[in-house]
Structure 1
């Protein structure tokens, strides 16, 4: 997820950073399919992610990503994947972050089809980078449209990912037009993984363009340092600096140093890491979310992902105590007897919630207009997968047992939650795709998650199930 700040700000990778209409649903992105294009010039051969088991639940997760990617066959071969099922009300929105995750999940299969799908998605990101309707500076937008729909105002959106004029179909209806450093970092991580796996230089060139944009746009000499949030849809720089974003950059810049041989990326990696380490709270063994002004640290809310992604990216034993904080302080158990739970009778789900403030959500009011009231114990399945993977990566005593319990909860959700949901009004493969949350969940950052099947949550589940660390440089 990318970069919320303190309680005074609602900006997030999942929140609105454009200039248009806001929406009360969560925002993420997925993966695509099709035949691979020619590999291009060779740059290397080392695989970026590891293989994993191929159980039924894993196969069904990949089936969901494939169905979401192939949902608009009449709208061109260049495509991204719809992030959420139709029921989420985001139509054919495809978030850049989710597509990056889907690339990594497809590569984790170590199969010909998985690689082919990852290549198609990577080429779509490169297309968006080269065919932005306004900019030619290496940026990607928060989200794109990948198929036709009729918006709430009755105005049809007729295009696929590639508009009639050849430009990328930016998600203007919901205002998903800004560019966050975290989204860009994840896209760069995915492209660098493709460069590693395929040897195609075009993917490395795209990743370097992303890194250069981040350096030009995000670098700050404020007291806390690091790289700032990005820009809104009007290209105005945002004042926040996110722990999560800078954690992503530790990975991206490390990979660019390795793949290009240019040591300037090591200096940039060190700058990002230094910011992350300044967010460490030694008395509580957790990381804060970031800063709004570059001077003072935001102390609430404390999110889950800054505890888990730091372990995956930094690999530091002392800092990995943040996993124990997340497992203890953000633990939730959702079941039908809870006040605002939408879990069916007889089911229960264990995992973690989004942030420390999620546990204090106002259960008497909806998270946003036209949305349901939140359940304080709603399980955030993407974050639960983060934690499971980080525990597996840490290899501490009891970590594998804890991880398996979390993964079992996610797999039960894939089996039983979000039934009868569709993408482009088409039925999904049975028991495929993980919902973003077990019940409506207030993140504490001005937006919510809901029980809709979601490419991002599914991809993180697949990474956890296959023991694939996407943040390893």
Structure 2
């Protein structure tokens, strides 16, 4: 993140409790011995299987809440706490990054109702793409679900950020992989072409992709590690689905930019400044570490995961886990706990399985006990007011994106890659 991120919202929060030995590599994985008579009783460890089922129930309710007669549905991203109670208004926008994660989480489990709901959200993403006022293949940052329920497109976040395009593209690629319906691949290719036409920078080294466009059409000239990691995954998926090697070449450009952002001590910097070349060294965000690993599968980023464990771990009351960046490590980011757990599971170095399981166990505890929770969904942060370091604060409210990341981590499903056939 070197400017507005894929989320472009001043709020994302996370909570996770991690055993004391988690980051020393000596934690013992949860054994499932907790009593199943009352898995929510005080002192009993939450049951993993029940926890996953409850998290899907949370997503089901959010998807089903705002649908029109044509079957278009968009789930609100946040609910409760700051977004419902504190300002006396109910904040309902649906962020397409979160929507993409919901789609991918549904394909990870893949039950018939999961695929039905994934298609309902995916079809809505195609609907907003087709009905954009510019109509050049893009999607916007967020939309109003109340508008969707009334059969119309109401844009609440008009920016066109590169990472958002990539995440929606990966969701549509997943749907094409799961269903074989050509419309999803067509939509993904339109997004990819918009990215290539409007953000590719092969002039200012390190080469890569810029941040996208603002509402007025002006270009964001900085380059983001986060966005280029997204594109490394998205373009690789398109290469696999289409057989067109040009997408593999473009994925290599994005991966090359990410590699250029890795510092001498192993961490990955956020991206560049406005000149598109000078490295932006502060703050250092979590997702630049975890997503670089997940999107590329390159072992060079093992050191970025180790750096994360040494530098980005927060403790907030009973909760412990990664924060958003090194700016503020006083609170825990549940969404980040999900993608760190997944990255550790997939790296599978000594101690990683126990570390990942401890992170998942702590998310489950937060699912049960965190403030503003409902016992099903995952709140974004352990407590309100987490400073991202990018000019926004994140709050402890129920979040579809954090819930979806938890489900992907629990399933061991990497959203940057297509499932094996």
Unaligned runs of 5+ in 1: 17-23, 29-52, 148-159, 336-347, 360-376, 422-429
Q: 1:135 to 1:314 in 2, by over 3 A?
A: same
Equivalent residues in 2 for 1:35-434, closer than 5 Å: 55-72=49-66, 77-87=71-81, 88-89=83-84, 91-132=91-132, 134-147=133-146, 160-161=147-148, 167-171=152-156, 176-220=157-201, 221-281=203-263, 283-292=264-273, 293-335=275-317, 348-359=318-329, 377-419=330-372, 430-434=374-378
Q: What is the TM-score with the length of structure 1 in the denominator?
A: 0.77
Mapped partners of 2:139, 2:354: distance in 1: 39
Q: 1:330 to 1:322 in 2, by over 3 A?
A: same
Aligned to 1:25: 11
**What is the number of equivalent residue pairs in this alignment?**
377
Q: 1:397 to 1:186 in 2, by over 3 A?
A: same
Report if aligned partners of 1:80, 1:146 keep a CA contact under 8 Å in 2.
yes
Q: 1:110 to 1:287 in 2, by over 3 A?
A: same
Report if aligned partners of 1:312, 1:390 keep a CA contact under 8 Å in 2.
yes
Report if aligned partners of 2:12, 2:381 keep a CA contact under 8 Å in 1.
no
Mapped partners of 1:400, 1:113: distance in 2: 31
Q: Which has the higher helix share?
A: 2
Moved over 6 A (4+): none
Report if aligned partners of 2:13, 2:379 keep a CA contact under 8 Å in 1.
no
Mapped partners of 2:371, 2:154: distance in 1: 28
Mapped partners of 2:76, 2:69: distance in 1: 13
1:151-200 alpha-carbon deviations (Å, 9 max, x no partner): xxxxxxxxx2165xx642211xxxx1111110110100010011111001
Mapped partners of 2:358, 2:11: distance in 1: 28
> What RMSD, in angstroms, separates the aligned Cα atoms of the two structures?
1.9
Report if aligned partners of 1:141, 1:179 keep a CA contact under 8 Å in 2.
yes
Report if aligned partners of 1:76, 1:162 keep a CA contact under 8 Å in 2.
no
1:398-435 alpha-carbon deviations (Å, 9 max, x no partner): 1000001111111111101244x6xxxxxxxx511000
Report if aligned partners of 1:391, 1:402 keep a CA contact under 8 Å in 2.
yes
Q: 1:469 to 1:25 in 2, by over 3 A?
A: closer
SS at match of 2:155: coil
Mapped partners of 2:59, 2:124: distance in 1: 16
Tell me how far 1:25 sits from its aligned partner: 3.4
Unaligned runs of 5+ in 2: 15-46, 85-89
Report if aligned partners of 1:162, 1:168 keep a CA contact under 8 Å in 2.
no
Q: Which has the higher contact order (CA 8 A, sep 6+)?
A: 2
Report if aligned partners of 2:209, 2:254 keep a CA contact under 8 Å in 1.
yes
